[in-house]
């Protein structure tokens, strides 16, 4: 599954970290 969010920098990292914690999947930037 691929989701695209038009975020950059710290916002993107925060989002990726949150999704990673929820899904238990490793974060890929």
In a 13 Å sphere around the CA of 23, the CA atoms on its Cβ side amount to: 11
Torsion from C-alpha of 18, 10, 2, 29, nearest 10 degrees? -100
Q: Read off the pLDDT of residues 2-11 as tens digits, 9 standing for 90 and up.
A: 777 778 888 8
The pLDDT > 90 percentage for the chain reads 0
Q: What is the mean pLDDT of residues 4-29?
A: 85
> What is the DSSP secondary-structure string of 1-29?
--------HHHHHHHHHHHHHHH-PPP--
pLDDT at 28 exceeding the cut of 80 = no
The pLDDT > 70 percentage for the chain reads 93
> In the prediction, which pLDDT does 6 show?
79
Higher pLDDT among residues 24 and 1, named by residue: 24
> In the prediction, which pLDDT does 16 show?
87
């Amino acid at each position: 599954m691929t989701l695209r969010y038009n975020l950059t920098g710290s916002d993107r990292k925060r989002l990726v970290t949150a999704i990673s914690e929820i899904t238990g999947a490793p974060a890929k930037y």
